[in-house]
Structure 1
Amino acid sequence: MPRPISRDTRLCMSLSGRPGNFGTRFHNYLYEALELDFIYKAFTTSDLPAAIGGIRALGIRGSAVSMPFKEACIPLLDELDASAAAIDSVNTIVADQGWLKGYNTDYGAVVSLLESHQVPRDIRFVVRGSGGMAKAVASAFRDRGYRHGAIVARNPETGLALAQGCGYAWLAELGDEQPQMLVNVTPLGMEGGPQASTLAFSRAQVAAADWVFDVVALPVETPLIRLARELGKPVITGAEVMVLQAVEQFALYTGVRPEAELIERAAAFARG
């Protein structure tokens, strides 16, 4: 029997340029399993100030924030947690009696994955992208002691700023370079996007790499991840990032941290 919704039910949401179903299914599965009086809904918007104002005015408990709103939402908030202030990027908003505080749970997810996958700190890597998620990824590499990196971004303003902020080189194009680790933080390969079948790196670069990390979460097996697996490369997937950061969001919204087995069930349901 579906959970009843009442006037006391707390609403959580997401704001994304391309809303997906993972967060909605993941959070609602956990609300039901833990008998929490919450509901989660995904949205997009062409009026970000009005959308953020709605979070404040309607008492919405929290919102995930995805591309292209991670940086644009910052002036509309009241406070930034250290996790967001350090990298000037927000992926989570928590509302408390109309006070909006921004967090970044992407950063912690990437740090955790670098540790759990035991990626060598002396590896030569490139991060392709320079948006809000790229800031979280590059900052995680920097703070975990990865020194031999470069930011690949066509936009010289954002690409150079991110590279300088993290102490890395900046490249407008990767060209024929063959780094040991390839990290994609662009929409290339994203399900439903105009470049869903596009590889973020060439086949030769993937073949020469020791590690491949694609932050794109949908599909779970992006073209880049599929190719890397075919070539026998160790991979870190966007699906892994999505689950870890979503658990942190869930805890921020509800004050409850689910057990690992329940998280795995929720993630499997969300991907189904």
Structure 2
Amino acid sequence: MSRRISRDTRLCMSLSARPGNFGTRFHNHLYEALDLDYVYKAFTTTDLPAAIGGIRALGIRGCAISMPFKEACIPLLDALAESAAAIDSVNTIVNDAGHLRGYNTDYLAVRQLLDEHGVSPQTSFALRGSGGMAKAVACALRDAGFQDGVIVARNEAAGRRLAETCGYEWTPELGARRPQMLVNVTPIGMSGGADADALAFDEAAIGAAQRVFDVVALPAETPLIRAARARGIATISGADVIVLQALEQFALYTGVRPSPAQVRSAAAHARGG
């Protein structure tokens, strides 16, 4: 099927400090599969207010928001959906006739994955990270009933703020703690990053864990995920998070929910498979 871009084609986009290709490939694959007159393009910006103003002024239908813009964009929007207001972090903007509403599909994806994997709220955990995505994950854990948690963050101000928001403890390093679940929400292990080959937690903590959850999506098997699987430890991958949150964005933008088979095909295409 060949799609033609016309004056009526609706544009969706993303804003990130480091644009990737996953969203572009995922959304455009589904537009073609479902014969929808949309096109998706990734952008970066050094002028966030102007970029958000452009979404409104040009009638851009939707925008995925990545770091470092997830909190900074909030004052520029007209309203927040419950998923974003509850955690004060936005990863999705939907434009309805110039009215910009913020959502957080990261939060929705994490809640769904915790349910799908049957992770008990009685599980103790350590979450490493304190940025916008860490807030989404920590709040999803809190709202799912997880009470025994610690936020591991070297940035004391951000780490303490996140811990206090969610009712958890803060520590700069994990140390001798051995929680049942380890959650990485930092760029450690991300392809192309300075710490692409590093582990977000030490070997002793990994070996003592019952489950590892790495929110890093690229590569699908980070060093942390590989280390856990080598020990037979249950895992949740960022590759699962990125697909679910992108699916929710797609539905918000188009009003269409693809079939599971179409989602699998789009995810494989987006990963280059």
TM-score range, shorter chain: over 0.9
| SS of residue matched to 2:90 | coil
Match of 1:119 in 2: 119
Work out the CA distance in 1 between the residues paired with 2:2 and 2:173.
Answer: 51
- Which position in structure 2 is the counterpart of 1:104? 104
The aligned amino acid for 1:27 is H
Does 2:57 match 1:63?
no
Q: Does 1:203 align with 2:203?
A: yes
Q: Does 1:158 align with 2:158?
A: yes
Q: Does 1:10 align with 2:16?
A: no
Pair 1:246-2:246 in alignment: yes
Give the drift of 1:157: 1.5
- Aligned AA for 2:128? R
- Residue type matched to 2:213 in 1? F
- 2 CA distance for matches of 1:92 and 1:57? 17
Mapped partners of 1:223, 1:67: distance in 2 = 22
1:232 matched to which residue of 2?
232
Helix, strand or coil for the counterpart of 1:111?
A: helix
Q: Once the two structures are superposed, what CA deviation does each residue of 1:157-183 show, in whole Å capped at 9, x if it has no partner?
A: 111111111111111111222211100
Say which SS state the counterpart of residue 204 (structure 1) adopts: helix
- Give, in angstroms, the shift of residue 258 of structure 1: 0.7
Partner of 1:46: 46
SS at match of 1:14: strand
Residue type at the aligned position of 2:179: P
For residue 17 of structure 2, give the secondary structure of its aligned residue in structure 1: coil
The aligned residue for residue 191 of structure 2 is 191
CA distance in 2, matches of 1:28, 1:218: 19
State the shift of 1:263 in Å. 0.7
Structure 2 letter corresponding to 1:144: A
| AA at the equivalent of 2:111 | V
Aligned-pair distance for 1:200?
0.6
Partners of 2:5 and 2:129 lie apart in 1 by 41
Q: Which whole-Å CA distance do the structure 2 matches of 1:202 and 1:101 have between them?
A: 40
Runs of at least 5 residues in structure 1 that lack an aligned partner in the other structure: none
Q: Which amino acid aligns with 2:166?
A: C
Q: Secondary structure at the match of 1:127?
A: strand
Structure 1 Cα separation of the partners of residues 227 and 251 of structure 2: 35
- 2:269 aligns to what? 269
Distance in 2 (CA, whole Å) between partners of 1:100 and 1:121 is: 35
Who is 1:219 aligned against?
219
Letter in 2 for 1:190: M
Matches within 5 A, 1:126-137: 126-137=126-137
Equivalent AA in structure 1 for residue 40 of structure 2 = Y
Aligned counterpart, 1:148: 148
Letter aligned with residue 176 of structure 1: A
The amino acid that maps onto 1:191 is S
- The number of equivalent residue pairs is 272
In the other structure, the counterpart of 2:175 is 175
- Distance in 2 between residues matched to 1:202 and 1:232, nearest whole Å: 16
TM-score by length of 2: 0.97
What's the TM-score once normalised by structure 1's chain length? 0.98
Question: What is the CA–CA distance in structure 2 between the aligned matches of 1:236 and 1:166, rounded to whole Å?
Answer: 21
The amino acid that maps onto 2:15 is: L
- One-letter amino acid of the counterpart of residue 245, structure 1: Q
Q: Deviations over 1:234-263 (max 9, x none)?
A: 000001001111111000000001111111
Alpha-carbon distance in structure 2 between the residues aligned to 1:250 and 1:51: 21
Query: Post-superposition shift, 1:65?
Result: 0.5
Tell me the CA shift for residue 49 of structure 1: 1.2
* Structure 2 unaligned spans of 5+: none
Cα RMSD (Å) of the superposition? Answer: 0.9
Identity among equivalent positions (%) equals 70
The residue that corresponds to 2:21 in the other structure is: 21
